[in-house]
Amino acid sequence: MVSEMLAWRNFPCQVTIAARNENAADEIVNLIKFTSENVGHTFHISSRKINLDSVEEMAEIISDIEPDLIFNTASVQSFWVVSELPDHISKALWTAGVGPWTACHAYPALQLMKAIKASGVKTMVVNAAFPDAVNPLLKGIALAPDIGIGNVSNICQPIREAVSQILSSDISSISVNMVAHHYVGNTIPSEGHAKGAPYYLSVKNNGEEVSQDMLPHDKIFKHIKTDLKRKRGKDGMFVTASSAVRIIEGFFGDKTIAAHAPGVRGLVGGYPVTIGRRTFDVALNDDISLSDAIGINEKGQRYDGIDSIQDGYIRLKQESSDVMNALMGFGLGGYHISEVGEVSAELVQRYQALRSKHV
| 119 and 164 together in one domain | no
Give the CATH number, domain containing residue 241.
3.90.110.10
The most distant pair of C-alpha atoms in the chain lies apart, rounded to whole Å, by 57
Residues 6+ apart with CB under 8 A from 235: none
Residues 143 and 30 in one domain: yes
Q: Tell me whether residue 340 is in a domain.
A: no
Four-residue CA torsion sign, 143, 146, 152, 153? negative
- Domain limit, last residue, from 147, 175, 206: 147
Tens digits of residue pLDDT in 246-299: 999 999 999 999 999 999 999 999 999 999 999 999 999 999 999 999 999 999
| CATH number assigned to the domain comprising residue 34 | 3.40.50.720
Question: 265 and 139: one domain?
Answer: no
Identify the domain boundary among 301, 320, 343.
301
Q: Give yes or no for a contact between 347 and 104, defined as CB atoms under 8 angstroms apart.
A: yes
Q: Is residue 178 part of a domain?
A: yes
In a domain, 130, yes or no: yes
Same domain, 110 and 202: no
Based on the fold, state whether residues 130 and 251 are members of the same structural domain.
no
Whether 242 and 264 map to the same domain: the answer is yes
pTM over 0.85: yes
pLDDT in tens, 180-232: 999 999 999 999 999 999 999 999 999 999 999 999 999 999 999 999 999 87
203 belongs to a structural domain: yes
User: What pLDDT score does 286 carry?
Assistant: 96
- Nearest to residue 143, comparing CAs of 105, 115, 103? 115
User: pLDDT by residue (tens digit) across 55-83?
Assistant: 999 999 999 999 999 999 999 998 888 88
Task: Tell me: do 156 and 295 sit in the same domain.
Answer: yes
167 and 114 within one domain:
no
Q: Is the pLDDT of residue 45 over 80?
A: yes
Is residue 258 in some structural domain?
yes
pLDDT tens by residue, 92-140 = 999 999 999 999 999 999 999 999 999 999 999 999 999 999 999 999 9
User: Does some domain include residue 324?
Assistant: no
Whether residue 131 sits in one domain with residue 157: no
Tell whether 108 and 180 lie within a shared domain.
no
Looking at the structure, tell me whether residues 105 and 142 fall in a common domain: yes
* Domain boundaries, position 260: 152-301
Overall domain count for the chain = 2
Domain-ending residue, one of 301, 332, 349: 301
Same domain, 240 and 218: yes
In a domain, 347, yes or no: no
The yes-or-no verdict on residue 235 having pLDDT over 80 is no
Report which of 275, 297, 271, 294 is spatially closest to residue 284, judged by C-alpha positions: 271
In a domain, 267, yes or no: yes
For the chain, give the secondary structure using H, E and C: CHHHHHHHCCCCCEEEEEECCHHHHHHHHHHHHHHHHHCCCCCEEEEEECCCCCHHHHHHHHHHHCCCEEEECCCCCCHHHHHHCCHHHHHHHHCCCCHHHHHHHHHHHHHHHHHHHHHCCCCEEEECCCHHHHHHHHHCCCCCCCEECCCHHHHHHHHHHHHHHHHCCCHHHEEEEEEECHHHHHHHHHHCCCCCCCCEEEEEECCEECCCCCCCHHHHHHHHHHHCCCCCHHHHHHHHHHHHHHHHHHHHCCCCEEEEEECHHHCCCEEEEEEECCEEEECCCCCCCHHHHHHHHHHHHHHHCEEEEECCEEEECHHHHHHHHHHHCCCCCEEEHHHHHHHHHHHHHHHHHHHHHHC
